[in-house]
Structure 1
């Protein structure tokens, strides 16, 4: 039954595409279609100011390959090796054609990992060999349609980047992408106001068997109505001067299907954000508050009990960008994400399809901090001297929001190990050997373990006081 419904959706998408071509293919509207959002975009894919541009014919072709080597030691996560080395390669090719208001496009992404041994933390979040996360049509009418103003419609398979990216994003650092199948509509009803509505089926990355992942087995991802994600995102610019206000509502509904168990999440997420982008000689800020409610299970086991959810997240940051040749920025930040309590209540925050790297540090074989059960203030330094070099470094202390919930996948249900998770120092160096085409990058992280990771009975490598991680990658883009 599920496969029939999925096939019906695919046929409906194809029909929509044909209807759009027939109706608008000969239109004289001179609007440009939205740029492609390939994994090969080097910064925040999907953003017009950073995505590659098409030529005069309306054709856009981008490609990239990134090779990354990473090593970690002292990892406390139970069930996995304390140290690991991995070599990951991601290759992406994206094509879009649209000389007028209508465009069609697609993207092939090949994400693989090598030198993976037993006890690896590498999953299908890192490996997804030979996949087509994008195959879409886009229609954009910049001159407006009645009272709704500008209209952009996208249907098929595509990537989603919304708001801060903490809930819905294409993570540029991660070795795989989040793909969705469905419909997205962007409206511009008034000056400085944009609205996005979407209804999608998240693509389930396959294979999900660890042995197949290690062998980079090719198995095409699937989407079904067993997992549905929809919502609305509103953005208003020029608020309180140069600030931007964002309000969003997201709904996720999933349940078990043959061969796949889930946490049966039925979550409502309310998101509010006020931010101002960094600019030389001025202050910037980013304050985001999220409340989540509904029902979910504490694990994906078939016997897990579904509970009422009440969870929250806060990100608060402020900084100042200086002028001069180094273009330095110094900022303070704080992240809070709720965790489960002792009485069995469900308060663990769920980041949905959000990105980790920008706020919390590297993922991959390190992946220490997640947007759950943390209370973590810190300070950050950034510099961008010229167009070739970028540097980032930050320090934060990490406490557990609840001493009874997990941190680094370690749990002490008695709470006797306390709330101090440790201190993290992490950073990134980038150098463009050939601007826009050849980039060398290195990410590092040190987690000095606090009492929780030293005393919790579940934690491994308790005799090692520090988790050490470093990786180097080289990306070629065309």
Structure 2
């Protein structure tokens, strides 16, 4: 059994003290208790969430993994967005860690992604540049996305780690409620990938490459 280190526990508890609980599938977008607690001005949007989940499996179906396993998965997120009028600047930090799993566990980067920025972006308001009565904006940087049925592009709610994309996204919203979205992005590759590093919740910055 792997026991969490003091540094990691302190990190999680410190974030827990300032973040508000949220549903697993909730998007981190609206102002909430954190925004009110720090007395943030109206042009700032602050929110966060903390989730703890215990999972166990008996009769492992993965050949190379231990037959019986368990994990305590913790996820903490904090979002800050500054509205400067035609431009918005935002950043979201998340800490996804796992504890109590056995050696040979199947826990991977879908659960562990410690001390990472899932979003940092600039968003520009284009107004009616793409048609009268429409509202358009362009977002650039690292971001999370949810499109359509979310089968291909989504911000997963059940999984502990977060899927991010780096690039450009153009959105046009028409008067009839229809929305047009165009994007060019590189999926962020979650790191680390080594078994030992994952078991120890070792931080390593995610990165993109042109292969995806």
TM-score band by shorter chain is 0.7 to 0.9
1:170 match = 155
2:198 match = 213
Instruction: Find the residue that maps to 1:226 and give its secondary structure.
Output: coil
Which residue, 15, 23, 26 being the options, matches 1:42?
A: 23
Which string of whole-angstrom CA distances, capped at 9 and with x for unpartnered residues, describes residues 125-149 of structure 1?
A: 11011001111011234x5225272
Instruction: Find the residue that maps to 1:91 and give its secondary structure.
Output: strand
Report 1 or 2 for greater relative contact order, CA contacts < 8 Å, sequence distance ≥ 6: 2
1:225 matched to 2:210: yes
**Whole-angstrom CA distance in 1 between matches of 2:137 and 2:49:** 27
1:145 matched to 2:134: no
Which string of whole-angstrom CA distances, capped at 9 and with x for unpartnered residues, describes residues 208-252 of structure 1?
A: 01111001111100112121xxxxxxxxxxxxxxxxxxxxxxxxx
Alignment of 1:221-370 (within 5 A): 221-227=206-212
Which structure dedicates a bigger proportion of its chain to strand?
Answer: 1
Which string of whole-angstrom CA distances, capped at 9 and with x for unpartnered residues, describes residues 294-328 of structure 1?
A: xxxxxxxxxxxxxxxxxxxxxxxxxxxxxxxxxxx
Q: Shift of residue 91 of structure 1?
A: 1.1
**Whole-angstrom CA distance in 2 between matches of 1:80 and 1:189:** 50
Q: Is the 8 A contact 2:66 2:102 kept in 1?
A: no
**Whole-angstrom CA distance in 2 between matches of 1:83 and 1:199:** 42
Instruction: Find the residue that maps to 1:175 and give its secondary structure.
Output: coil
Q: Is the 8 A contact 1:133 1:159 kept in 2?
A: yes
Q: Is the 8 A contact 1:52 1:62 kept in 2?
A: yes
Q: Shift of residue 43 of structure 1?
A: 6.1
Larger-gyration structure (1/2): 1
What is the root-mean-square deviation of aligned Cα atoms in Å?
2.1
1:202 matched to 2:180: no
1:71 matched to 2:56: yes
Which string of whole-angstrom CA distances, capped at 9 and with x for unpartnered residues, describes residues 167-216 of structure 1?
A: 11111111100011100000124522210000001101110011110011
- Give the gaps of 5 or more residues in structure 2: 1-20
| Number of aligned positions between the proteins | 184
Q: Is the 8 A contact 1:45 1:161 kept in 2?
A: no
Which residue, 49, 64, 77 being the options, matches 1:92?
A: 77
1:184 match = 169
In structure 2, the CA distance between the partners of 1:209 and 1:83, relative to structure 1 (3 Å rule), is same
If the length of structure 1 is used for normalisation, what is the TM-score? Answer: 0.36
2:101 match = 116
Instruction: Find the residue that maps to 2:141 and give its secondary structure.
Output: strand
Alignment of 1:3-22 (within 5 A): none
Which residue, 127, 137, 142 being the options, matches 1:157?
A: 142
**Whole-angstrom CA distance in 2 between matches of 1:181 and 1:45:** 21
2:117 match = 132
Q: Is the 8 A contact 1:57 1:99 kept in 2?
A: no
If the length of structure 2 is used for normalisation, what is the TM-score? Answer: 0.79
Which string of whole-angstrom CA distances, capped at 9 and with x for unpartnered residues, describes residues 352-394 of structure 1?
A: xxxxxxxxxxxxxxxxxxxxxxxxxxxxxxxxxxxxxxxxxxx
**Whole-angstrom CA distance in 2 between matches of 1:168 and 1:65:** 23
Instruction: Find the residue that maps to 1:135 and give its secondary structure.
Output: strand
